[in-house]
Amino acid sequence: MWGNTIISLWRVLVGFAIAAVSGILLGIAIGWWRTARDLLEPVIEILRPIPPLAWIPLAMLWFGLGFTPAVFLIWLGAFFPILLNTVLGMESTPKKLVEVAKTLGASSSQVLFKVGVPSAAPSIMAGLRIGIGIGWMCLVAAELTGSNSGLGYMIMYYYSTMEAAKTVAGMLMIGIVGFLMFSALKKVEDKLLFWRVQP
C-alpha cells in the first residue's frame, strides 16, 4: 500500500506542478493582454467543458498505461481551475492601484509584476487549491482504468480479489492523502497571503 501511495503522490505532484506553471502563466497572459485573450479564449472555452474523464481513452491511446497518462489527466483536471482563477484575479486588479503605480513611475512590466500579479495572488491560490483537489480525483480515476500501479489501481485490484477491507483501506488512504495535500496548500496560502488577515 505504501508503494502505491508514493506512486500516486508522485504522479499527482508532477501533474499538479505542470498544471500550476502552465495555468498561472497562461492565466496571467489572458487576464492581462486583450490579444492573448482573443486568441486563446475560444480554444479554452471549447476544451473546458470536456470532462477530464472523457480524455481517458485518448490518454491511453496516446500514452499507454502508467505514469504519463495519469500525469496528463491530472494536468487536465487541475489546469482549468488554476487558469480561470488566475484570469479572474488578473482581470480584477483594482484600476486605482494600476494608476497609482503609474504615477509613481512604473513601466508596463513593473505594473504587471508589482501590481497585477500580487493583486491576483489570492485568486491564484484559490485556483491552486481547487486544482489540486480535482487533480487528485482525476488521478484515482486514471489509475482505476489506465494503470497497473497506484492507489486507484490498488482498490480496483482488491475489488477483483473480493477483499472489501483492503479496498476500503485504499479508499481511506486516498481520502487522507487528499486531505493532507489540501491542508499543506492551505498552510502555504496563509503564509503567503497573511496581509489579507484583518486585525
Residues interacting with other proteins, by CB under 8 A? 94, 96-97, 99-107, 110, 114-115, 118-119, 121, 193, 195-199
CB-wise, 28 or 140, nearer to other proteins?
Answer: 28
CA distance 95 to 125: 21
**CA-based nearest residue to 170, from 12, 52, 8, 13:** 8
Considering the complex, what minimum distance in angstroms separates the CB of residue 31 from other proteins? Answer: 17
Considering the complex, what minimum distance in angstroms separates the CB of residue 42 from other proteins? Answer: 24
C-alpha cell at 3: 508503494
CB-wise, 2 or 95, nearer to other proteins?
Answer: 95
Residue 133 contacts residue 178 (beta carbons within 8 Å): yes
CB-wise, 31 or 146, nearer to other proteins?
Answer: 31
Considering the complex, what minimum distance in angstroms separates the CB of residue 21 from other proteins? Answer: 22
Residue 16 burial class via C-beta count within 10 angstroms: exposed 0-12, middle 13-18, buried 19 and up:
buried
CB-wise, 48 or 196, nearer to other proteins?
Answer: 196
CB-wise, 34 or 61, nearer to other proteins?
Answer: 34
C-alpha cell at 63: 500514452
CA distance 64 to 4: 19
Considering the complex, what minimum distance in angstroms separates the CB of residue 185 from other proteins? Answer: 19
Residue 153 contacts residue 4 (beta carbons within 8 Å): yes
Residue 117 contacts residue 1 (beta carbons within 8 Å): no
Considering the complex, what minimum distance in angstroms separates the CB of residue 129 from other proteins? Answer: 19
CB-wise, 70 or 115, nearer to other proteins?
Answer: 115
Considering the complex, what minimum distance in angstroms separates the CB of residue 23 from other proteins? Answer: 21
What is the radius of gyration, based on Cα positions, of the chain?
A: 20
